């Protein structure tokens, strides 16, 4: 008997993460001595701030290394509520907040708490690679809403309405988005919110990139629009991207009380509390002044603008200018190669790591991350341009 016949059926249709696969291959080559330029990773190249590290060290030295309440320490949940009020104009109480082991964990908890077998979850495409796989694990049905580059890969009210069925339960909304960097305006969100309220559709609003928005645009939380949509929204955020704390694994969500309580019970019997030391570090991070984000955001915009300028001058590639996050989604259809072959050939032939678009639902695209130093971005653009000229 082959060993995989004894695995749980729920895992058989779950695909490995394409982003982690190419990143692992690049890391292996780098460890073998190859000069790899990585424009693949979904994490800032900036180090975790010293004031965050200091808070973690103090937590260790003071013995704050035991279990905490499952949903997070009270002072962190209180600060998260203050952050929602100040930054997002949404009022939550600590009992509505669940701190988890990263925003990915928060999203999984949200889906696990809401999805019954064959419930439909609407996912705008292109999408973050883990959304559909999480839905599969919860025995739900992922239903994709195709978007267009001319709309900055954002769904319209018409797009949303056309995909709703009697099985539709949830819309996953990611703004700013991964991989396309789309940012929804208030008017766009109001139209989507009205449809969700009318059809009683929950919204999982993934706002992990909210601090990284360019060109004077503004982040809007859909839950802030009115009470009706707030009562249907699970707002997800975390510390990984804005504070360069990817490895610390602190994410959180806020939701209607009955949903938060259900997620608390789920977390009781899965992970229990998030890391105690990282929670203390999170307190320090959330207390950072606005100037902290603005400086980082300015640097990312400079990197974005440099890369866009280079990409526009290259043959056989067409970038879509991201409005937020730190990725550029590039159409590579003119290479006549699928994105997995492009990504593997760039790594093998040019020691350049990028992410293929298949995992995002877009086989004619690759994702480039500009969360790298300007020096490495220059090298990466040089290698990409040289390769494209020869394809």
108-153 pLDDT, tens digit each: 999 999 999 999 999 999 999 999 999 999 999 999 999 999 999 9
- Is pLDDT of 1 > 50? no
pLDDT in tens, 212-230: 999 999 999 999 999 999 9
pLDDT above 70 coverage of the chain, percent: 99
- Is pLDDT of 272 > 80? yes
Amino acid 24: pLDDT: 84
Amino acid 25: pLDDT: 86
For the domain covering 3-48+291-390, report its CATH number.
3.90.1150.10
Q: How confident is the model at residue 3 (pLDDT cuts 50, 70, 90)?
A: low
Please provide residue 54's backbone torsions phi and psi, each rounded to the nearest 5 degrees: -60, -40
Question: What are the structural domain ranges in the chain?
Answer: 3-48+291-390, 65-286
Residue 218: burial class (beta carbons within 10 Å; 0-12, 13-18, 19+): exposed
Q: 339 near 329, Cβ under 8 Å?
A: no
Residue 28: burial class (beta carbons within 10 Å; 0-12, 13-18, 19+): exposed
- Is pLDDT of 372 > 50? yes
Distance CA(327)–CA(219), nearest Å, equals 17
- Is pLDDT of 382 > 80? yes
- CATH level 3 topology of 65-286: 3.40.640
Q: 102 near 251, Cβ under 8 Å?
A: yes
- Is pLDDT of 184 > 60? yes
Write down the pTM of the prediction.
0.95
SS3 380: helix
- Is pLDDT of 233 > 90? yes
155-190 burial code (b ≥16 CB/10 A, e <16): beeebbeebbeeebbbbbbbbbbbbbbbbbeeebbb
Q: 229 near 90, Cβ under 8 Å?
A: no
Alpha helix segments (H runs only) across the chain: 18-31, 50-61, 74-83, 103-114, 130-137, 157-163, 186-199, 227-230, 257-268, 276-286, 290-312, 339-350, 374-390
């Amino acid at each position: 008997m082959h060993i995989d016949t004894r695995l749980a059926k729920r895992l058989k249709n779950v695909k490995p993460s394409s982003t982690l696969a190419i990143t692992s291959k690049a890391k292996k080559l780098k460890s073998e001595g190859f000069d790899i330029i990585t424009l693949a990773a979904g994490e800032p190249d900036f180090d975790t701030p010293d004031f965050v590290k200091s808070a973690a060290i103090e937590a260790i030295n003071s013995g704050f290394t035991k279990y905490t309440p499952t949903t997070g320490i009270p002072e962190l949940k209180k600060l998260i509520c203050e952050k929602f009020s100040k930054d997002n104009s949404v009022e939550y109480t600590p009992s509505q907040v669940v701190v988890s082991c990263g925003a990915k964990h928060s999203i999984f908890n949200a889906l696990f708490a809401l999805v019954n077998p064959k419930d439909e979850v609407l996912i705008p495409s292109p999408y973050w690679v883990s959304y559909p796989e999480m839905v599969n694990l919860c025995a739900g049905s992922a239903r994709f809403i195709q978007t267009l580059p001319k709309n900055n890969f954002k769904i319209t009210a018409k797009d949303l309405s056309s995909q709703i069925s009697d099985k539709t339960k949830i819309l996953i909304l990611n703004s700013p988005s991964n991989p396309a960097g789309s940012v929804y305006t208030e008017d766009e969100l109001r139209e989507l919110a009205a449809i969700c309220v009318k059809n009683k559709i929950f919204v999982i609003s993934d706002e992990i990139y909210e601090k990284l928005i360019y060109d004077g645009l503004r982040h809007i939380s859909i839950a802030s629009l009115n009470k009706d949509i707030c009562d249907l929204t699970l707002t997800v955020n975390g510390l990984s991207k804005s504070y360069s704390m990817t490895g610390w694994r602190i994410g959180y969500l806020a939701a209607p009380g009955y949903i938060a309580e259900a997620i608390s019970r789920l977390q009781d019997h899965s992970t229990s509390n998030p890391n105690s030391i990282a929670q203390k570090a999170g307190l320090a991070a959330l207390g950072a002044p606005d100037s902290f984000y603005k400086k980082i955001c300015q640097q990312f915009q400079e990197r974005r603008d440099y890369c866009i300028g280079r990409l526009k001058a290259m043959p056989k590639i067409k970038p879509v200018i991201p409005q937020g996050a730190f990725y550029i989604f590039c159409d590579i259809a003119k290479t006549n190669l699928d994105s997995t072959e492009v990504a593997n050939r760039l790594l093998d032939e040019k020691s350049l790591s990028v992410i293929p678009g298949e995992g995002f639902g877009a086989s004619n695209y690759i994702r480039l991350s500009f969360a790298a130093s300007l020096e490495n971005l220059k090298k990466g653009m040089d290698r990409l341009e040289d390769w494209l000229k020869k394809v």
